Structure 1
Amino acid sequence: MNALVVAIDGPSGSGKSSVSKGVARALGLAYLDTGAMYRAATWWCLDRGVDLADQPAVADAVRAMPLVMGVDPSAPTVTVGGTDVGAAIRETAISAAVSAVATNLAVRDELRRLQRAAIDAERASGSFSEGRGIVAEGRDITTVVAPDADVRVLLTASEEARLARRALDVHGSADAASVEATRDQVLRRDADDSMVVQFHTAADGVVTVDSSQLDLPQTIEAVLSVVRARG
């Protein structure tokens, strides 16, 4: 399957990143985590002392951001100005601030431009996939960034399942206290992002995969089945 583009969207805790990496590995494709790009932009602005409430200043900073996304699904990287920020962008301070950047429409325009460029590069002769294609995941990949993708999937799950997964990821436990500690971060981020992009309901031509009752391998297989059905 040459130059295959798989677009996967979904809310927080739906398993987008893990599933997308698994699908990319199975198909020998590149992998693009667009959510990490918004996190990297947040890290860059905070590191440079940019007031996130100053939307024009944030947009200017992001346009100048020297971002490099590593697209190997087995070892994806995020580098800004030569600094590996892969761990730093997952810290609580970034999670708490990223919505201010992700809802900045000028920032979204710039990062969407970069995302389309990354997808087009892997369609051609990408450094990782050698032109075989890419799996890109985020909030608006199926509808805005790559509405012409060969396969478009909305990956969803119940609120209970999403909170438990994120709690396990962040706190190492899905007990009641961990779930409650994660609730605000997950639901607030989804609510904030819903103001600028729709990712709770599948658009026409987008296949919904509900992972509420599926484990990771089963969810990966469900998405691969959608790819195979494309023919």
Structure 2
Amino acid sequence: MKKKEIPYPVITIDGTTASGKSTVAQEIAKALGFTYFNTGALYRAVTWRILSLGYDVHDEEKVVEACSRLKLRCAIQKIDSFYKATVILDERVPDEKTDLRSAEVNAAVSIVASYARIREWLLPFQRELAYQTPLVVEGRDMGSVVFPESPYKFFLDAQLEEREKRREKQGEKDDVEKRDRLDQSRSSAPLLCPADAVRLDTTKLSIEKVVDKILDVLWKKGLPITKSKA
């Protein structure tokens, strides 16, 4: 079945852990008046809920069964100077720092995200937002799987040592190299750079420089700037 054409522009920003995706995507969303959607937070929210319900994330069947009963939706809200898609799970909004970035979620999210049926379940939810508003989406398979038709694709990466330093500054202790290995080796939608994406090495670049480079590419591609209707 042919996918329904998405009416709004979607900018995809994929990349490795601690490559700068989240901050860059937010700044791009602010600059364009688009809605920012962190799909990593989506997978973290599901992982957090599964853990809070007492499930073993290594038991794929139980995890899939539990997810089928979750009530998942997204609210587009204006926070500070930009629009953001907030994940609501079983009528609860998990705290980004204490819930989604806990050591337990950090250790388990790649496992949950590796399950093909979980990714399939979340795919239409992610695409649905693009029928409501222009988006800047960041994750690991946005340009390769979720929005492969987008002409505005970017992939961020940086040297491992630099990314480990950034993670430490963020106060997080997850194993960056292990996360890379899990993301790149999973059988369902592995982390990869789409052939038509603009790849940027952010090792020695400031956030401002990365944002400027992306905006320059978007202008050259003739991106139609449409203010969000959220």
Task: Give the structure-1-normalised TM-score.
Answer: 0.83
Q: Secondary structure at the match of 1:89?
A: coil
Alpha-carbon offset, residue 76 of structure 1: 5.2
Q: Residue type of the partner of 1:144?
A: V
Pairwise mapping of residues 24-103 of structure 1 onto structure 2 (< 5 A)? 24-71=29-76, 72=78, 73=82, 77-87=86-96, 88-103=99-114
Q: Is 1:195 aligned to 2:185, yes or no?
A: yes
**Which residue is 1:17 aligned to?**
22
**Which residue is 2:176 aligned to?**
186
Which of residues 211, 214, 219 in structure 2 aligns to 1:228? Answer: 219
Q: Residue type of the partner of 1:192?
A: L
RMSD: 1.8
**Which residue is 1:106 aligned to?**
117
Q: Distance in 2 between matches of 1:168 and 1:206?
A: 29
Q: Distance in 2 between matches of 1:114 and 1:84?
A: 17
Runs (4+) of structure 1 exceeding 6 A deviation are: none
Q: Distance in 1 between matches of 2:83 and 2:194?
A: 30
Q: Distance in 2 between matches of 1:138 and 1:38?
A: 10
Alpha-carbon offset, residue 145 of structure 1: 0.4
Contact 1:10 1:199 in 2 (8 A): yes
Q: Which runs of 5+ in 2 are unaligned?
A: 1-6, 223-230
Q: Distance in 2 between matches of 1:67 and 1:52?
A: 19
Q: Residue type of the partner of 1:27?
A: L
Q: Distance in 1 between matches of 2:157 and 2:165?
A: 14
Alpha-carbon offset, residue 134 of structure 1: 0.3
Alpha-carbon offset, residue 224 of structure 1: 1.2
Alpha-carbon offset, residue 69 of structure 1: 3.2
Q: Secondary structure at the match of 1:14?
A: coil
Q: Secondary structure at the match of 1:50?
A: coil
Tell me: CA distance 1:8–1:101, structure 2 relative to 1, closer, same or farther (3 Å): same
Structure 1 residues 30-81: Cα deviation after superposition (integer angstroms, max 9, x where no partner): 1111111111111111111222122122112223322233444465533222
Tell me: CA distance 1:121–1:155, structure 2 relative to 1, closer, same or farther (3 Å): same
Task: Give the structure-2-normalised TM-score.
Answer: 0.83
Q: Secondary structure at the match of 1:203?
A: coil
Alpha-carbon offset, residue 101 of structure 1: 0.4
Tell me: CA distance 1:170–1:77, structure 2 relative to 1, closer, same or farther (3 Å): farther
Structure number with the higher helix fraction is 1
Q: Distance in 1 between matches of 2:75 and 2:166?
A: 25
Percent identical among aligned pairs is 32
